[in-house]
Structure 1
């Protein structure tokens, strides 16, 4: 028995050494989103990857839109090996040939992903390794009753205590589109959502532009409910506020955070190793614990407090809704104009 264990151990060590020898001294370049996200990114993926492979990861701090603009500008000689998006830019990037198709067999953790997270690998759209789930953030102490649905926003029991976020904010846009959907609208018709916003404002709701303003309303102005992302309930709790999160029963709009393989780079094998680590259960559990992003790997195990803050498990992720990012981008200016006219009062 000891001999068998020893043989396995030596074999495993040899495999690791071979991988390390392959990668030692190599560098891949990625983007990350700065701040708390980048800190978690380093803890959950970047540092473990460097330790496991001997490679170095050069990080360029760039949000999705800026990173995509750079990728387009550098199409003939891209700087990134792996590029991360949260706004659906991988759909456009894949169509433009800026991203490489991924064979699921090249990712050891791909089989553990929910189907939606790996649906278009062959088209060049990288896997989703985290989800920002949009639902209802609420004050668990002062709220007269716990909200359970998007329709509850229109319940006059919450009048004067609702905080909406401007649709210039990505999370605000997703929350608005979900309210529009619940009221019978679609991406071709946002008038039902605008009518609902008018009703909310008539009931005393307010509109803010940024997440710090949401915190201010909860801390100082007796806000009870805000349609926003699951991770922000955690942010509010860390600030000492009694915040909780619930997915609306009609569904949960989601921002997919993806890791994409850039076309035209020489070290794609090493880049694929980085993507593979990003979609691992260990890395995704780390993101959930540190930032409260929802995992896309079915093997992730979360404790009660963390699980309560995210869309967790097969049933919860079944309610995730992804509004077509290409339609949102195409209609954004038109929608913002209509929104601004609606909230002007």
Structure 2
């Protein structure tokens, strides 16, 4: 009888632990569409399979997710929150995000140094990079464009499409052109002057990424500064478009995974972040969407590597324009941009 009681007690403990494991849940945001599909395939489903924990997904882009985080400061819904616009810098300063001990992440040691530089301050690690470079029609151009400065050549203008700086990728491309023209974040006039000249020579401006696809598809357009992942999108649409990093540097949009402060299941949240940093998850994302991996041990096939900033050589030219400065000035920059392109 005593042995039966012990067995029943053990069974009850096991059953309770199984219920607890399957009842465990974290809440994250993802960006919807193809991104969310890849997120499920590369991280969420493997995480659930390994831990038994459910992942509740709120579809919210960076700005909206950050607004929610601020509004819910005293009772946040998110355990892990993802940003692509640098919101983690402000979130860490405001105490909305928790510092991350790198020793609790098995993949932290394999990250490129820039990717996890401020985890101890609450800024989550970058688990992907959207690299901004030169998209070009390989049927129209015999050689890949080597430099951002090439876009300023008069004979490039007739086939050049620029993207409005209300679009983040368009903004990063413009800031790179501004830097090459001699400007910086305190002075965007050199970039504006360069854009005026490009437009006078035949370039034109679009506002959204589908318009870039339309421009390439209609013919006449053979080069555009934009994100590496979109070159892949265009090729899937049957267009002969490739991605090239410019010699002067590659603007980078960091996609970060952040630990929310004030939640009671941070160990589980950290495990989720750690899985996002794994070479397997990052290779999966690169295969699906052509984002640049931040784990140095990520191995990519040649055709995928050609579309991203890959390996030590590829990532050493990545540069990040200060998100705080961009946030403080963006509205004014848009006004100046609109004046410039209207002339």
The interval holding the TM-score normalised by the smaller chain is over 0.9
> Per the alignment, do residues 21 and 107 of structure 1 end up closer, same or farther by CA in structure 2, a change over 3 Å counting?
farther
Give the alignment of 1:19-168 within 5 angstroms: 23-168=21-166
1:86 touches 1:256 (CA, 8 Å); kept in 2? Answer: yes
Match of 2:319 among 309, 318, 321: 321
Q: Which residue of structure 2 aligns with residue 238 of structure 1?
A: 236
**C-alpha deviation, 1:159, in angstroms:** 2.5
**C-alpha deviation, 1:144, in angstroms:** 4.9
Gaps of 5+ in 1: 1-18
Q: Which residue of structure 1 aligns with residue 340 of structure 2?
A: 342
> Per the alignment, do residues 319 and 310 of structure 1 end up closer, same or farther by CA in structure 2, a change over 3 Å counting?
same
> Per the alignment, do residues 67 and 54 of structure 1 end up closer, same or farther by CA in structure 2, a change over 3 Å counting?
same
Rounded to whole Å, the distance in 2 between the matches of 1:223 and 1:47 is 40
Q: CA RMSD in A?
A: 1.2
Rounded to whole Å, the distance in 1 between the matches of 2:157 and 2:335 is 26
**C-alpha deviation, 1:322, in angstroms:** 0.2
Q: Deviations over 1:153-207 (max 9, x none)?
A: 0122323110000000000000000000111110000001001101110110000
Rounded to whole Å, the distance in 1 between the matches of 2:74 and 2:313 is 43
Rounded to whole Å, the distance in 2 between the matches of 1:309 and 1:145 is 16
1:98 touches 1:262 (CA, 8 Å); kept in 2? Answer: yes
**C-alpha deviation, 1:20, in angstroms:** 7.8
**C-alpha deviation, 1:126, in angstroms:** 0.4
Q: In the comparison of the two structures, how many residue pairs are matched?
A: 327
TM (norm. structure 2) is: 0.94
1:23 touches 1:270 (CA, 8 Å); kept in 2? Answer: no
Rounded to whole Å, the distance in 2 between the matches of 1:125 and 1:158 is 40
Q: Which residue of structure 1 aligns with residue 277 of structure 2?
A: 279
3-state SS, counterpart of residue 76 of structure 1: coil
Rounded to whole Å, the distance in 2 between the matches of 1:181 and 1:21 is 57
Q: Does 1:253 align with 2:230?
A: no
**C-alpha deviation, 1:23, in angstroms:** 3.7
Structure (1 or 2) with the larger CA radius of gyration? 2
3-state SS, counterpart of residue 162 of structure 2: strand
3-state SS, counterpart of residue 294 of structure 1: coil
2:133 touches 2:226 (CA, 8 Å); kept in 1? Answer: yes
Q: Which residue of structure 2 aligns with residue 9 of structure 1?
A: none
Rounded to whole Å, the distance in 1 between the matches of 2:41 and 2:337 is 39
Rounded to whole Å, the distance in 2 between the matches of 1:28 and 1:145 is 48
Q: Does 1:186 align with 2:184?
A: yes
Q: Deviations over 1:246-285 (max 9, x none)?
A: 0000000000000000000000000000000000000000
1:114 touches 1:297 (CA, 8 Å); kept in 2? Answer: yes
> Per the alignment, do residues 168 and 23 of structure 1 end up closer, same or farther by CA in structure 2, a change over 3 Å counting?
same
1:138 touches 1:243 (CA, 8 Å); kept in 2? Answer: yes
Rounded to whole Å, the distance in 1 between the matches of 2:22 and 2:120 is 29
Match of 1:303 among 301, 304, 311: 301
Rounded to whole Å, the distance in 2 between the matches of 1:285 and 1:54 is 23
3-state SS, counterpart of residue 327 of structure 1: helix
2:132 touches 2:173 (CA, 8 Å); kept in 1? Answer: yes
Q: Which residue of structure 1 aligns with residue 217 of structure 2?
A: 219
**C-alpha deviation, 1:221, in angstroms:** 3.4
Rounded to whole Å, the distance in 2 between the matches of 1:295 and 1:44 is 13
